[in-house]
């Protein structure tokens, strides 16, 4: 929250915002302002894991819009060639910033197969189903850890809002959004399942209170942190190696 609001105590000292938020401590490397560039970075991180002989697996997330970028395919080639432990996760929420996947991709019908020329196995997953996502992720991690190379997961999902404040999302009907909220919402689905399995309303309320507290604490932490000093304008930009 501190990084999102440009505060000194944010992960990138308030100078990265949502697009350049990194935490080495948590092995989290962005975010990138150039759509698709994080895929090449994630591939490089997977290379580092392999080079260092760790069993860590890189996970590169990108949208179905980003999946049309050239460097995604350069990354696929290197990852497959060097059998890098990298999971490519396409968050297919059907829309980019200005249009639908059908209007921007000739592979819209099956994005899970876009790694086929490099023999990267791909799986289409119901990204709104927690258990399906968990199971697919386990398969992908096991594949990478076995040294077989990269794996691709196409997560079928949805976003209720536009890409950002500059996207009024005129490329779809409001009824579609309402329908998705009503029938596919992953939190509602889990709520229903847990109810059926015996979680009481009281317990749900406790969870809500706990989550609100976490969010409020984060907001308070951010608000209490100052903006970075002007003298920080030229710091944290370049690392001399």
Q: What residues line the site for ligand TPP (CB under 6 A)?
A: 33-35, 62-66, 93, 95-97, 159, 163
Active-site residue flag, 20: no
Distance CA 86, CA 116 (A): 15
**Closer CB to ligand TPP, 49 or 90, in the complex:** 90
**Whether 7 is catalytic:** no
> Which of 14, 63 has the CB closer to Mg ion?
63
Measured distance CA(186)–CA(141) in Å, rounded: 23
3-state secondary structure of 124: strand
What are the structure tokens assigned to 77, written together? 């080639």
Does 12 help bind Mg ion (rule: CB under 5 A)? no
Burial 149-174 (b: 16+ CB within 10 A, else e): bbbbbbbbbbeeebeeeeeeeeeeee
Determine the interface stretch with Mg ion among 41-49, 50-58, 60-68, 104-112 (rule: CB under 5 A): 60-68
Contact 130, 76 (CB under 8 A): no
Residue with tokens 């697996």: 57
Residue 171 annotated in active site: yes
20 contact choice in Mg ion, ligand TPP, none (CB below 5 to 8 Å, kind-dependent): none
If the CB atoms of residues 35 and 136 are measured against ligand TPP, the closer one turns out to be 35
Provide the mask over 86-105, with x wherever binding to Mg ion is found by CB under 5 A and - wherever it is not.
-------x------------
């Amino acid at each position: 929250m501190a990084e999102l609001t440009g505060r000194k105590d944010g992960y990138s000292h308030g100078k990265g915002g949502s697009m350049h938020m990194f935490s080495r401590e948590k092995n989290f490397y962005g975010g990138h302002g150039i759509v698709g560039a994080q895929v090449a970075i994630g591939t490089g991180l997977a290379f580092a894991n392999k080079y260092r002989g760790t069993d860590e697996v890189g996970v590169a997330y990108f949208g179905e819009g980003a999946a049309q970028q050239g460097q995604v395919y350069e990354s696929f080639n290197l990852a497959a060639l060097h059998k890098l432990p990298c999971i490519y996760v396409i968050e297919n929420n059907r829309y980019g910033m200005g249009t639908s996947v059908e209007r921007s991709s000739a592979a819209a019908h099956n994005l899970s197969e876009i790694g086929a020329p490099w023999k990267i196995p791909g799986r289409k997953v119901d990204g709104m189903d927690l258990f399906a996502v968990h199971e697919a992720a386990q398969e992908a991690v096991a594949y990478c850890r076995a040294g077989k190379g990269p794996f691709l997961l196409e997560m079928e999902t949805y976003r209720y809002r536009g890409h950002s404040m500059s996207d009024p999302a005129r490329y779809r009907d409001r009824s579609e959004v309402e329908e998705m909220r009503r029938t596919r919402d992953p939190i509602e689905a889990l709520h229903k399942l847990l109810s059926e399995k015996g979680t009481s309303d009281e317990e749900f309320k406790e969870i809500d209170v706990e989550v609100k507290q976490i969010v409020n604490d984060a907001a308070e932490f951010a608000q209490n942190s100052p903006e970075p000093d002007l003298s920080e304008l030229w710091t944290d930009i370049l690392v001399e190696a």
